[in-house]
Structure 1
């Protein structure tokens, strides 16, 4: 399931804190156990090119296979099932689908903590959701093994994945089939994943993003939370943008979002808006057609513009859509095709 590939002693838990070895059998201890649930705007994920203006029934549990020092949901993501006092509710797959429909949501999103670690539950739910006409979304750090992704791939519509940094190699080193990543991370130019998330290599994340798009035809959007002094160098931003366009295509939305001091990175200042604007310029310069600035309410680049004529097509205010000027998948000004999945609302 997970690239950590934990070897777990009898009676002990894996790195994620929710899988336990019980007399030689591995059990998920959070199947159907929900810590958080909300009918969210899809824009909150953020997904900007996937059923804009719709609501998605968003759920989370406990645990994660990363330990990000600036995690906004650390209270659940950094928790272990054996020592958490978080109140949990059991919701069966059937009940989850019913709740989604009752709350007038168009889909279900596994989010808040890492969906990969409770993939058995996600898979059972996603199968039922598709039968009922609901869309399905993973909001993920992308740290997943190919077999696990292939298990849920036929039932997953959207894959919103973080590329938190670009460690230890340049974009030219990545062909999509073979990657040369230094095993000696002390020699790396960048150490974001090692120093901030607790994992060794970005490779499984990149491989999974490509696989989600090319093998399973999922809608993929990328987010990078830009942290001053950690992953904000122009060189690193060039590499992320270059990798996206080379491996996922120029229509892939890239969200560059503003960091604010938090948790173990409380000493780090908020990202200057000028840094986000530079990141956007870099993405556009590389050839990406849709680069968004996040966590800066009211910024012009939280809106969607036609890449051909420049007309504003989707005006956003935070997580709300104020205007939607796409008809039949086309710009209403110049009839250019706009890569939006699903209709409005």
Structure 2
């Protein structure tokens, strides 16, 4: 447990300002992410140093195709998320209250990475922005040793903490789950515009950016609706890398897997606006 950053004390509790939920947290209660708690009117992060998952992955699995291609990356995840996606594939660590975990100091995490002979660290699996303080401390140390840092995120973070994070993060993959605010609210428990603002901000920075859209059968798979998303990304920069990922049933969603034909059509439409479009979660097709 560590004292959190980005909060303000108000009459009825603590206002967390890390993400656009702006949770008002009374004493002894937690925010939506379940990882930030008001203890005697001081906000603490509960997952500092808590690691639920780690693995050595191909960097393309993040997915990042245009950043250090062909290399391996040490990937770490913790617990908690500020979304509640009905199709969450990592709900055991993102949304469950007490997942199995170990404690690793940020020094130890960097040491493990270097002992494996790897040049990069990814914060991934759950939503890393709710692991903010630990991620920042680890990334600062990692960069002092010349390691590259990657954040795989839903992009639901406020501008001030994002600006700080950008100082220490070399690359991002941001989920742009839909171009519908209603979809974000009803399926994911979030909102669209803050994610768009995060993408704009990262694109304008020195950090590498790639974007992933999980195409969900019967939910956000209308090609004309997807075209609005493609068009918007292309208006920012036709060089932005887009991954169209295939959905499979998970957590609370039992829709059938997305048709491969849908993904191929979506890729063709996306190529009108973007130069680099890939299909994910379909063996043998990219």
Q: Give TM-score, length-normalised by structure 1.
A: 0.76
Matched with 2:261 is 274
Counterparts of residues 40-55 of structure 1 (less than 5 Å): 40-55=57-72
Structure with higher Rg: it is: 1
Cα shift at 1:127: 0.6
Distance 1:58 1:32 in 2: 14
Distance 1:157 1:66 in 2: 24
Cα shift at 1:11: 0.4
Matched with 1:207 is 197
Cα shift at 1:89: 1.3
Instruction: Check if 1:136 corresponds to 2:149.
Output: yes
Cα shift at 1:87: 2.5
Counterparts of residues 18-57 of structure 1 (less than 5 Å): 18-57=35-74
Counterparts of residues 179-328 of structure 1 (less than 5 Å): 191-199=182-190, 201-214=191-204, 216-247=205-236, 249-266=237-254, 268-286=255-273, 288-299=274-285, 302=286
Of 90, 93, 103, the residue aligned with 2:106 is: 93
Deviations 1:267-293 (A, max 9, x none): x1111111001110111122x111101
Cα shift at 1:198: 1.0
Distance 1:151 1:88 in 2: 27
Q: Give the secondary structure class of the aligned counterpart of 1:271.
A: coil
Distance 1:280 1:104 in 2: 36
Question: 1:55 touches 1:104 (CA, 8 Å); kept in 2?
Answer: no
Matched with 1:108 is 121
Distance 1:7 1:297 in 2: 44
List structure 1 segments (4+ residues) > 3 angstroms apart after TM superposition: none
Deviations 1:220-248 (A, max 9, x none): 1011110111111122111111111112x
Distance 1:265 1:87 in 2: 24
Deviations 1:264-322 (A, max 9, x none): 111x1111111001110111122x111101111111xx2xxxxxxxxxxxxxxxxxxxx
Deviations 1:122-163 (A, max 9, x none): 001111111111110000000000011111111101010001
> Any unmatched runs of 5+ in structure 1?
169-190, 303-345
Q: Give the secondary structure class of the aligned counterpart of 2:173.
A: strand
Q: Give the secondary structure class of the aligned counterpart of 2:150.
A: strand
Question: 1:142 touches 1:161 (CA, 8 Å); kept in 2?
Answer: yes
Distance 1:46 1:272 in 2: 20
Distance 1:8 1:160 in 2: 30
